[in-house]
Amino acid sequence: MRKTLGLIVAAGLMAAGPARADKLDDIINSGTLHCAVTLDFPPMGSRDANNVPIGFDVDTCNDLAKALGVKAEIVETPFPQRIPALLSGKADVGVASTSNTLERAKTIGFSNPYFVFKFEILARKGSGISDYASQKGHPVGSTAGTYEAIALEKDVKAWNDPKGSFHPYQSQADVFLALSQGQIDATDVTSTVASAIVRSGKYPNLEITGEAPYEDDYVALIAQRGEQGLLNYLNLFISHQVRTGRYQELYKKWIGAGSPPSLTIPGVYE
């Protein structure tokens, strides 16, 4: 009986196959963390005068690499390429202000939120756009695949105004160039981006004309969906960023004065 039982256990172990190191182990053993970061989305990600990546997301990637005891490598990734970069193995983790939508969760794994965005309208001066509703009947646009692009395109269709149109772009830089050149009259962007663009002085003909009535956008770190060990580590990392005051420090450094928004969701988890 013992011999038979032993054979059954051995057969079961053989069927299960050899133990496989998970992605977290792979990163630690490789000595490098490859972070997909969007670098045309200031102050979350951009490049300084020396072409060096900077921003809230860049610092977050560096902090994560430090916690893991490895070096960080920034993989510049446009918004539409964030998930493909992970699925292809080009990046290990996405630190790229990715909204945690249910649709995306069918493809990619999300950590707990590490930042929360609010939205504003950035319009070309003289366009006649003074608030969200006045975008009706105007050509507007945003970066393809982003939370605000999906919401704005949905509203443009609902307004059903033949004079109005929605234009998707591959990058934030493309959006701001189109806006400044008059190809579109407005875009809806995060308040962090809107303030950064106006402060930069690069586009003097653009102005903030009001708030966009979207729900707060909770963004998360992303990794391949089946890598639960890595996702668990990312959750703990975010917790430590808040508990140690690092989240607050980075908010002050990159966003400015004021209290950083709470990462918890009232009525869900506090």
- Listed by start position, the domains of the chain span 21-116+218-254, 119-211
| pLDDT tens per residue across span 36-78 | 999 999 999 999 999 999 999 999 999 999 999 999 999 999 9
Q: How confident is the model at residue 18 (pLDDT cuts 50, 70, 90)?
A: low
Q: What is the third-level CATH fold of 21-116+218-254?
A: D-Maltodextrin-Binding Protein; domain 2 (3.40.190)
What CATH class has 119-211?
alpha beta
Question: How far is 264 from 270, CA to CA, in rounded Å?
Answer: 5
What's the count of helices (H) and strands (E) in the chain, helices before strands?
9, 12
184 against 22, higher pLDDT: 184
> Do 21-116+218-254 and 119-211 show the same overall fold?
yes
Question: What is the per-residue pLDDT for 200?
Answer: 85
Segment 98-120 shows an average pLDDT of 95
Q: Are 133 and 105 in contact (CB under 8 A)?
A: no
Non-local (6+) Cβ contacts of 51 within 8 A are none
Question: What is the per-residue pLDDT for 265?
Answer: 84
Q: Is the pLDDT of residue 20 over 80?
A: no
Helix 56-68 × helix 228-243 angle, to 10°? 110
Question: What is the per-residue pLDDT for 184?
Answer: 98
Average pLDDT, the chain: 91
Question: How far is 176 from 206, CA to CA, in rounded Å?
Answer: 9
